[in-house]
Amino acid sequence: MDNLAFEMHEGATQHVSFVGKMNTIPRMEEKRQWSLLSVFLACLLACTVTTAVGVLILSLVYINNTQLHSEPELRATTIAILQKAVDPKFQFLNHLPKSKVFEFPGGAIQWARYRNNIKDYLSIEEEAFGRSLNSQRSQMTLGTLRIKSNGLRAPHWHFDANEHGYLVQGTAWIGVVDDGHVVTTYNVTAGQVIFFPKNTLHWIKNVGNEDCFFLLFFSTHDELQTLDVDDVFFSTPEDIASRSLKPEGGINFIRTFHKQKEDQGVNLPHNLAELVTNASYTQSPDNLVWRYFYDLKGSKEYRFPGGIIQLAQYWKNGSELSKNEKIFSTFLNQHQNTLALSTLKIYNNGLRQPHFHFNANEMGYVISGCAKVGIINTQGTTEFDIHIGDVIFFPIGTQHYIKSACDEDLLLILAFSTGDQLQTLDMDDYLQATADHILAQLFFKKQSEFKKIPKFKEDQAINLP
Ligand SMILES: *[C@@H]1O[C@H](CO)[C@@H](O)[C@H](O)[C@H]1NC(C)=O
Ligand SMILES: *[C@@H]1O[C@H](CO)[C@@H](O)[C@H](O)[C@H]1NC(C)=O
Ligand SMILES: *[C@@H]1O[C@H](CO)[C@@H](O)[C@H](O)[C@H]1NC(C)=O
């Protein structure tokens, strides 16, 4: 304010001195000066009018560009803008079961993500969520991957993201090929975590009898860029493929490969039994496997009165980790923009009390149960219910709470956008830590009143009434 006032004052002074000078100039010169001045004023007027018209045109063009379908009439524009008013909760909530299902011969994929082209969103709610992920630079995208028995998520790699997966159901055999062409293969079962660093080639095959169901978190808020090995093969000129692979029969052998009509992203040939005669496979040694694998279900349980937390993350102090868990923790930390994964179980009526994270955005998926979720940011509080299949997003620093509301325990799978140890502060901890005379002054309340807020021996991160 001070600066603004100062500038205005200075401007006024200059104006006064200009007028003062004018008065001292001789008549002739004064006349010329006046005609110059009028030319100047005319130009100024013209300029102003042109600018105003320009701004008007620009703003009309802008309004037309920001609406979904460019109707020519201004009335239609207004309606479109009104229709775009979406409940603010959808910045933090995505009803994934309602989103588009991408079907493949061997399974299906669904997404909670940002899209470059807003026409790719099915609804304004989905758009609000995607925009929110992107505008917060969240480093988050979520996909669910269902693979039928014997189905295969084709070997592929991602240009722009690390991938962290949680297997909800089934048994899968994983292969990872790194830049040293070392291949690591291993089995995963429900409750375990997989990690594929950016650009490592990987495949996932369902080797059990039931469907595999994966939650896949990708460390990007842009569109995920992926290449499948079959697509790359068919895009490579035959002579180049022949020269590179030097097969028996040369280019004629290459020509015997035929691209399928349907996208084979998740594949399952009808005649698989005819094609595959020996499906035996090996498990790589632990020092390789545990770089890409973490037994989250089998890891240390952090128990609270109202629930349990488990974490697959980098630990600064790894002294409580097993030898294999240390391999995972160290390997995560060697890569940029990795994620931490976690399970959060909250018993019926339990409350994950208000807290926030210093160093990570958070994304979560509801596996079971239901809850009321609250988010407090600089705009105020947003509260909403979540059910199985819903995806939530808590931007870094926003205070959030989760209250389990169904008979069944709430189970959330959470991902955090940090390759460091997650940093968290709970409401009871920061209020206890704040001097009671500061609280007295802040809340207009006698200092002694704050003795009524008890300190507990046990951490109350997830508490019961
Ligand atoms: C099946 O494949 C495995 C691994 O590739 C190999 O070690 C084994 O000898 C094969 N068995 C037969 C019968 O070909
Ligand atoms: C992986 O799981 C399959 C199916 O349960 C099993 O047949 C196979 O022996 C397992 N492989 C290893 C290496 O553990
Ligand atoms: C690491 O954790 C262990 C057990 O929690 C503790 O005894 C030890 O002092 C810690 N080390 C450091 C360097 O903080």
The answer to whether 224 and 141 are in contact (CB under 8 A) is yes
| Mean pLDDT computed over 367-389 | 96
**pLDDT class of 10 with cuts at 50, 70, 90:** very low
Q: Is the pLDDT of residue 130 over 70?
A: yes
The answer to whether 205 and 312 are in contact (CB under 8 A) is no
Supply the pLDDT for residue 8: 34
Tell me how far CA of residue 183 lies from CA of 178, 216, 314, in angstroms: 7, 21, 23
Interacting residues of 297 by C-beta distance below 8 A, sequence separation 6+? 190, 191, 192, 310, 343
State what percent of residues in the chain have pLDDT above 90: 80
Residue 289 CA to ligand 3 center (angstroms) comes to 27
User: DSSP per residue over 106-127, as a string?
Assistant: TEEEEEE---SSGGG-SSHHHH
- pLDDT by residue (tens digit) across 311-346? 999 999 999 999 999 999 999 999 999 999 999 999
Q: By alpha-carbon position, which residue is closest to atom 10 of ligand 3?
A: 317
**pLDDT class of 432 with cuts at 50, 70, 90:** very high
Rounded to whole angstroms, the Cα distance separating 334 from 295 reads 19
Rounded to whole angstroms, the Cα distance separating 92 from 395 reads 8
For residue 140, count other CB atoms closer than 10 A to its CB. Answer: 28
- pLDDT by residue (tens digit) across 390-402? 999 999 999 999 9
Lowest pLDDT segment from 50-59, 112-121, 236-245, 445-454: 50-59
**pLDDT class of 429 with cuts at 50, 70, 90:** very high
Residue whose structure tokens are 């775009």: 84
Supply the pLDDT for residue 384: 98
Rounded to whole angstroms, the Cα distance separating 86 from 94 reads 13
To test the pocket of ligand 2, the residue of 150, 185, 186, 187 to mutate (highest count of ligand atoms within 8 Å of its CB) is: 187
User: Considering the chain, what is the average pLDDT of its residues?
Assistant: 87
**pLDDT class of 37 with cuts at 50, 70, 90:** low
**pLDDT class of 68 with cuts at 50, 70, 90:** very low
Supply the pLDDT for residue 279: 84
Interacting residues of 355 by C-beta distance below 8 A, sequence separation 6+? 399, 400, 401, 424, 425, 426, 427, 461
| Mean pLDDT computed over 129-147 | 97
Q: Which residues line ligand 3 (CB under 6 A)?
A: 317, 319-320
Lowest pLDDT segment from 26-30, 228-232, 293-297: 26-30
Let me know how many helices (H) and strands (E) the chain has, helices first.
12, 26
For residue 262, count other CB atoms closer than 10 A to its CB. Answer: 10
* Type and span of the H or E element at 286: helix 286-289
Residue 372 CA to ligand 1 center (angstroms) comes to 53
Q: Is the pLDDT of residue 95 over 60?
A: yes
The answer to whether 162 and 200 are in contact (CB under 8 A) is no
Closest to 338 in 3D by CA, of 399, 390, 295, 291: 291
Closest to 84 in 3D by CA, of 96, 92, 76, 72: 76
Q: Which residues line ligand 1 (CB under 6 A)?
A: 278, 280
The number of angstroms, rounded, from the C-alpha of 124 to the middle of its chain's C-alpha atoms is 18
Supply the pLDDT for residue 48: 57
Supply the pLDDT for residue 46: 59
Rounded to whole angstroms, the Cα distance separating 126 from 113 reads 8
Rounded to whole angstroms, the Cα distance separating 98 from 89 reads 16
Measured in residues, the chain has a length of 465
**pLDDT class of 281 with cuts at 50, 70, 90:** confident
To test the pocket of ligand 2, the residue of 147, 173, 295 to mutate (highest count of ligand atoms within 8 Å of its CB) is: 173
Q: Which residues line ligand 2 (CB under 6 A)?
A: 171, 173, 187, 207-208, 283
| Mean pLDDT computed over 15-27 | 38
Residue 170 CA to ligand 2 center (angstroms) comes to 12
Rounded to whole angstroms, the Cα distance separating 390 from 412 reads 10
The sign of the CA dihedral 440, 443, 446, 448 is negative
**Virtual CA dihedral for 86, 92, 95, 99, nearest 10 degrees?**
80
| Mean pLDDT computed over 346-365 | 97
Closest to 413 in 3D by CA, of 312, 328, 292, 302: 312
The answer to whether 219 and 162 are in contact (CB under 8 A) is yes
Supply the pLDDT for residue 51: 56
Q: Is the pLDDT of residue 23 over 50?
A: no
* Type and span of the H or E element at 351: strand 351-357
State what percent of residues in the chain have pLDDT above 70: 82
Supply the pLDDT for residue 185: 97
| Mean pLDDT computed over 51-74 | 47
For residue 60, count other CB atoms closer than 10 A to its CB. Answer: 12
Closest to 395 in 3D by CA, of 95, 216, 135: 135
Supply the pLDDT for residue 280: 84
Q: Could you give the angle at which helices 27-66 and 74-83 cross, rounded to 10 degrees?
A: 60
Supply the pLDDT for residue 35: 53
The model's pTM is 0.82
Supply the pLDDT for residue 72: 47
The answer to whether 194 and 162 are in contact (CB under 8 A) is no
Supply the pLDDT for residue 67: 43
Higher pLDDT, 22 or 465: 465
Note the ligand closest to the C-alpha atom of 276. Answer: 1
Rounded to whole angstroms, the Cα distance separating 418 from 342 reads 12
Rounded to whole angstroms, the Cα distance separating 349 from 371 reads 9
Lowest pLDDT segment from 7-11, 69-73, 414-418: 7-11
Q: Is the pLDDT of residue 254 over 80?
A: yes
| Mean pLDDT computed over 91-105 | 96
Closest approach atom of ligand 2 to CA 186: 13
Supply the pLDDT for residue 85: 85
Q: Is the pLDDT of residue 449 over 60?
A: yes
Q: By alpha-carbon position, which residue is closest to atom 12 of ligand 3?
A: 317
